[in-house]
Protein backbone atom coordinates (compact mmCIF):
# COMPACT_ATOMS: atom_id res chain seq x y z
CA UNK A 1 0.00 0.00 0.00
CA UNK A 2 1.47 3.29 -1.06
CA UNK A 3 0.93 5.55 1.91
CA UNK A 4 0.77 9.28 1.30
CA UNK A 5 4.10 10.92 1.88
CA UNK A 6 3.60 13.49 4.63
CA UNK A 7 7.19 13.90 5.67
CA UNK A 8 7.78 17.00 3.61
CA UNK A 9 4.81 18.81 5.07
CA UNK A 10 5.89 18.17 8.63
CA UNK A 11 9.41 19.48 8.09
CA UNK A 12 8.23 23.06 8.70
CA UNK A 13 7.41 22.17 12.28
CA UNK A 14 10.68 20.44 13.13
CA UNK A 15 13.32 21.93 15.37
CA UNK A 16 16.12 23.48 13.37
CA UNK A 17 19.10 25.85 13.49
CA UNK A 18 18.66 28.99 11.46
CA UNK A 19 21.29 31.47 10.33
CA UNK A 20 20.02 34.99 9.98
CA UNK A 21 21.22 37.21 7.11
CA UNK A 22 23.49 38.96 9.64
CA UNK A 23 25.30 35.71 10.34
CA UNK A 24 23.75 35.12 13.75
CA UNK A 25 22.78 31.52 14.52
CA UNK A 26 19.75 30.65 16.58
CA UNK A 27 17.48 27.70 17.19
CA UNK A 28 13.86 27.67 16.08
CA UNK A 29 11.41 25.25 17.64
CA UNK A 30 8.13 25.97 15.86
CA UNK A 31 6.00 23.89 18.19
CA UNK A 32 7.14 26.03 21.12
CA UNK A 33 7.78 29.34 19.44
CA UNK A 34 4.68 29.61 17.30
CA UNK A 35 2.09 28.29 19.73
CA UNK A 36 1.14 28.73 23.34
CA UNK A 37 -0.02 25.80 25.40
CA UNK A 38 -2.01 27.53 28.15
CA UNK A 39 -5.64 26.62 28.73
CA UNK A 40 -8.31 29.26 28.25
CA UNK A 41 -9.76 30.80 31.42
CA UNK A 42 -13.31 31.61 32.42
CA UNK A 43 -13.87 35.33 32.79
CA UNK A 44 -16.79 35.92 35.15
CA UNK A 45 -18.87 39.05 34.64
CA UNK A 46 -18.11 42.11 36.71
CA UNK A 47 -19.77 42.25 40.12
CA UNK A 48 -20.90 45.83 39.59
CA UNK A 49 -24.05 45.37 37.52
CA UNK A 50 -24.26 48.85 35.94
CA UNK A 51 -20.64 48.61 34.87
CA UNK A 52 -21.22 45.18 33.34
CA UNK A 53 -24.32 46.47 31.56
CA UNK A 54 -22.37 49.39 30.19
CA UNK A 55 -19.60 47.07 29.03
CA UNK A 56 -22.10 44.77 27.36
CA UNK A 57 -23.69 47.72 25.60
CA UNK A 58 -20.26 48.77 24.30
CA UNK A 59 -19.53 45.25 23.13
CA UNK A 60 -22.86 44.91 21.40
CA UNK A 61 -22.57 48.21 19.55
CA UNK A 62 -19.15 47.57 18.07
CA UNK A 63 -19.24 44.19 16.40
CA UNK A 64 -16.03 43.41 14.61
CA UNK A 65 -16.40 40.49 12.25
CA UNK A 66 -13.54 38.26 11.23
CA UNK A 67 -13.36 38.39 7.44
CA UNK A 68 -12.85 34.68 6.95
CA UNK A 69 -15.27 33.27 4.40
CA UNK A 70 -15.37 29.63 5.33
CA UNK A 71 -18.08 28.52 2.92
CA UNK A 72 -20.80 29.59 0.54
CA UNK A 73 -22.28 31.96 3.12
CA UNK A 74 -19.41 34.34 2.47
CA UNK A 75 -21.06 35.35 -0.79
CA UNK A 76 -23.83 37.17 1.08
CA UNK A 77 -21.39 38.83 3.46
CA UNK A 78 -20.03 40.98 0.67
CA UNK A 79 -23.36 42.66 -0.23
CA UNK A 80 -23.71 43.58 3.43
CA UNK A 81 -20.83 45.99 2.97
CA UNK A 82 -22.45 47.54 -0.08
CA UNK A 83 -24.64 50.65 -0.03
CA UNK A 84 -27.77 48.60 -0.54
CA UNK A 85 -27.67 46.85 2.85
CA UNK A 86 -24.98 48.85 4.64
CA UNK A 87 -24.18 46.88 7.76
CA UNK A 88 -21.96 49.66 9.04
CA UNK A 89 -24.98 51.50 10.38
CA UNK A 90 -25.44 48.64 12.85
CA UNK A 91 -21.91 49.13 14.12
CA UNK A 92 -20.75 46.08 12.21
CA UNK A 93 -17.28 46.21 10.81
CA UNK A 94 -14.97 43.73 9.08
CA UNK A 95 -11.48 43.06 10.31
CA UNK A 96 -8.85 41.02 8.47
CA UNK A 97 -7.21 39.41 11.49
CA UNK A 98 -8.61 37.31 14.33
CA UNK A 99 -6.81 39.44 16.93
CA UNK A 100 -9.02 42.42 16.23
CA UNK A 101 -12.35 40.71 15.76
CA UNK A 102 -15.06 39.73 18.19
CA UNK A 103 -17.57 37.86 16.04
CA UNK A 104 -16.79 34.87 13.88
CA UNK A 105 -19.38 34.22 11.19
CA UNK A 106 -19.09 30.62 10.00
CA UNK A 107 -20.39 30.85 6.46
CA UNK A 108 -22.03 27.53 5.86
CA UNK A 109 -20.63 24.02 5.84
CA UNK A 110 -17.28 23.41 7.47
CA UNK A 111 -15.13 20.78 5.83
CA UNK A 112 -12.61 18.93 7.95
CA UNK A 113 -9.71 20.84 6.48
CA UNK A 114 -11.43 24.15 7.23
CA UNK A 115 -12.53 23.29 10.75
CA UNK A 116 -8.92 23.04 11.78
CA UNK A 117 -8.44 26.62 10.59
CA UNK A 118 -11.71 27.65 12.19
CA UNK A 119 -10.58 26.31 15.55
CA UNK A 120 -7.24 28.06 15.27
CA UNK A 121 -8.81 31.34 14.21
CA UNK A 122 -11.41 31.09 16.95
CA UNK A 123 -8.79 30.48 19.60
CA UNK A 124 -6.73 33.39 18.35
CA UNK A 125 -9.64 35.78 18.79
CA UNK A 126 -9.72 37.74 22.01
CA UNK A 127 -12.58 37.25 24.39
CA UNK A 128 -15.37 38.00 24.81
CA UNK A 129 -16.14 36.50 21.43
CA UNK A 130 -19.19 35.18 19.71
CA UNK A 131 -19.95 32.84 16.86
CA UNK A 132 -22.78 33.06 14.36
CA UNK A 133 -23.60 29.89 12.47
CA UNK A 134 -24.82 30.86 9.03
CA UNK A 135 -26.93 28.62 6.78
CA UNK A 136 -28.53 25.26 7.49
CA UNK A 137 -25.27 23.37 7.12
CA UNK A 138 -23.93 24.59 10.45
CA UNK A 139 -27.07 23.39 12.22
CA UNK A 140 -27.47 19.83 10.99
CA UNK A 141 -25.37 19.39 7.90
CA UNK A 142 -27.95 20.84 5.54
CA UNK A 143 -27.55 19.63 1.98
CA UNK A 144 -24.38 17.80 2.83
CA UNK A 145 -25.71 15.76 5.73
CA UNK A 146 -24.30 12.56 4.24
CA UNK A 147 -21.03 13.98 2.97
CA UNK A 148 -17.82 12.42 4.23
CA UNK A 149 -16.00 15.71 4.48
CA UNK A 150 -18.33 18.19 6.17
CA UNK A 151 -19.27 18.31 9.83
CA UNK A 152 -22.92 18.01 10.70
CA UNK A 153 -23.18 20.00 13.91
CA UNK A 154 -20.93 22.96 14.36
CA UNK A 155 -21.75 23.36 18.07
CA UNK A 156 -19.81 20.22 18.88
CA UNK A 157 -16.59 21.88 17.83
CA UNK A 158 -16.97 25.52 18.82
CA UNK A 159 -19.75 27.17 20.85
CA UNK A 160 -22.35 28.88 18.69
CA UNK A 161 -24.41 31.83 19.93
CA UNK A 162 -26.83 32.46 17.08
CA UNK A 163 -27.89 30.35 14.15
CA UNK A 164 -29.26 31.86 10.96
CA UNK A 165 -31.19 29.36 8.90
CA UNK A 166 -31.66 29.33 5.17
CA UNK A 167 -29.75 28.25 2.16
CA UNK A 168 -28.71 30.93 1.39
CA UNK A 169 -30.08 33.34 4.00
CA UNK A 170 -30.79 36.77 2.59
CA UNK A 171 -28.74 39.76 3.76
CA UNK A 172 -31.76 40.96 5.70
CA UNK A 173 -31.79 37.65 7.58
CA UNK A 174 -28.15 38.20 8.39
CA UNK A 175 -28.86 41.66 9.72
CA UNK A 176 -31.66 40.20 11.80
CA UNK A 177 -29.24 37.63 13.16
CA UNK A 178 -26.86 40.37 14.16
CA UNK A 179 -29.68 42.17 15.92
CA UNK A 180 -30.50 39.03 17.89
CA UNK A 181 -26.85 38.62 18.79
CA UNK A 182 -26.71 42.22 20.00
CA UNK A 183 -29.76 41.63 22.16
CA UNK A 184 -28.17 38.56 23.66
CA UNK A 185 -24.96 40.39 24.41
CA UNK A 186 -26.80 43.27 26.04
CA UNK A 187 -28.69 40.83 28.23
CA UNK A 188 -25.40 39.24 29.23
CA UNK A 189 -26.19 35.92 27.59
CA UNK A 190 -23.38 35.88 25.08
CA UNK A 191 -21.15 33.57 27.07
CA UNK A 192 -19.67 31.51 24.24
CA UNK A 193 -16.04 31.92 25.16
CA UNK A 194 -16.69 31.04 28.81
CA UNK A 195 -18.60 27.99 27.72
CA UNK A 196 -15.66 26.99 25.58
CA UNK A 197 -13.29 27.38 28.52
CA UNK A 198 -15.54 25.39 30.84
CA UNK A 199 -16.07 22.47 28.47
CA UNK A 200 -12.62 22.72 26.98
CA UNK A 201 -11.82 19.00 27.18
CA UNK A 202 -15.09 17.99 25.57
CA UNK A 203 -14.60 20.37 22.65
CA UNK A 204 -10.99 19.27 22.22
CA UNK A 205 -11.96 15.60 22.18
CA UNK A 206 -14.56 16.25 19.50
CA UNK A 207 -12.14 18.29 17.42
CA UNK A 208 -9.40 15.70 17.68
CA UNK A 209 -11.80 12.98 16.61
CA UNK A 210 -12.15 14.43 13.14
CA UNK A 211 -8.97 16.44 12.61
CA UNK A 212 -6.46 13.75 11.82
CA UNK A 213 -3.61 16.15 11.15
CA UNK A 214 -3.42 17.49 14.69
CA UNK A 215 0.07 19.01 14.61
CA UNK A 216 -0.37 21.83 17.10
CA UNK A 217 -0.68 22.15 20.88
CA UNK A 218 -4.16 22.03 22.34
CA UNK A 219 -4.59 25.73 22.79
CA UNK A 220 -2.81 28.31 20.69
CA UNK A 221 -2.99 31.97 20.10
Partner 1 sequence: MLDYGLKNRELFPETKSDGTVDIDLSSGKYTKVWQGPNHPGITGNMSLELTLLGDEVMESKTHVGYLHRGFEKLMERRRFINNFPLVCRICVPEPDFNEYCYAAALEELAGVEVPENALWIRTLILEMARLQSYLMWLSGQVGAFGFGIPSQWMLYCRDRVLDMFEELSGARIYHIYMLPGGVRDNLPKGFKAKMRETLNDIVPLLRDYERVVFNNAVFKKRAKGLGYINPDWIEEYGITGPNARGAGVPKDVRKDNPYLKYPELEFLPVTETDSDVYARAHLRWRDVMMSVDLIRQILERTPDEGAFKADLPSMLHWKIPAGETYVNAECTRGEYGYYIVTDGSGYPRRVNVRGPSYTHAVTLAEKMMVNCNIADVAATLVSLHTYPPEVER
Partner 2 sequence: MERIIENIKKQFPLQDVNSDHGWFITCEKKDVISLLTHLKITGGFTHLILITAVDWIEEDRFQLTYLLNNPQLKIRLGLRTFIERSVWPDESEMQSAHHLWPAVKTYQRELHEMFGIDFPGSPEVNDPLILEYWDDIPPYRRDFDTKKYSEETYFPREGRGSNDPAEYMKSQLYPNEGGKSQDFPQEISKKSSGEKNA
2 binds partner 1 (CB under 8 A): no
Q: Which residue from 82, 140, 179, 199 is in contact with partner 2, where contact means CB under 8 A?
A: 140
Tell me how far, at minimum, the Cβ of 127 lies from partner 1, in Å.
Answer: 18
Residue number with CB closer to partner 1 (94 or 203):
94
What is the C-alpha to C-alpha distance for residues 80 and 88, in angstroms, rounded to an integer? Answer: 8
Residue 11 contacts partner 2 per CB under 8 A:
no
**Which residues 6+ apart lie within 8 Å of 41 measured at CB?**
197
- Asked if 170 interacts with partner 1 (CB under 8 A), we say yes
How far apart are alpha carbons 123 and 198 in whole angstroms?
Answer: 14
Q: Largest Cα–Cα distance of the chain, in whole Å?
A: 65
Strand pairing partners for 26?
Answer: 18
Closest CA to 202 of 157, 161, 160, 139: 157
How far apart CA 14 and CA 32 sit, in angstroms, is 10
Q: Nearest 5 degrees, angle CA 130-CA 131-CA 133?
A: 155
Q: How far is the CB of 19 from partner 2 (least distance, A)?
A: 28
Contact between residue 188 and residue 181 where contact means Cβ atoms under 8 Å apart: no
Among 55, 72, 81, 139, binds partner 2 (CB under 8 A): 139
Which partner, partner 1, partner 2, none, binds residue 192 by CB below 5 to 8 Å per kind?
none
3-class secondary-structure state, position 86: coil
Residue 71 touching partner 1 (CB under 8 A): yes
Which of 40, 53, 67, 147 contacts partner 2 by CB under 8 A? 147
Which of 196, 169, 164 shows the shortest CA–CA distance to 180?
Answer: 164
Task: Select from 15, 78, 153, 189 the one that contacts partner 1 (CB under 8 A).
Answer: 78
Q: Which of 146, 58, 161 is nearest to 106 (CA)?
A: 161
**Quick check: 209 binds partner 2 (CB under 8 A)?**
yes
Residues 93-112 that bind partner 1 (CB under 8 A): 96, 98, 109, 111
Q: Which residues would be at the binding site for partner 1 (CB under 8 A)?
A: 12, 16-21, 66-72, 74-76, 78-79, 81-85, 96, 98, 109, 111, 113-114, 117, 121, 143-144, 146-150, 167-168, 170
Q: Binding residues for partner 2, per CB under 8 A?
A: 1-2, 4-6, 8-9, 112-113, 116, 139-141, 145-153, 156, 206, 209-210, 212-213
Amino acid sequence: MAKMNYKKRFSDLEKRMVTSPDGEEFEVDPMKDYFSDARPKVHPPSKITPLENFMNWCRAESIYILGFGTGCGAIEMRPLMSPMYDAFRFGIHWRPTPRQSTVFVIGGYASVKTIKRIVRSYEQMQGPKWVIGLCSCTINGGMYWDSYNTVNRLDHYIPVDVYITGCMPRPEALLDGFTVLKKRIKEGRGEGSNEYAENFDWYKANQKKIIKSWDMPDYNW
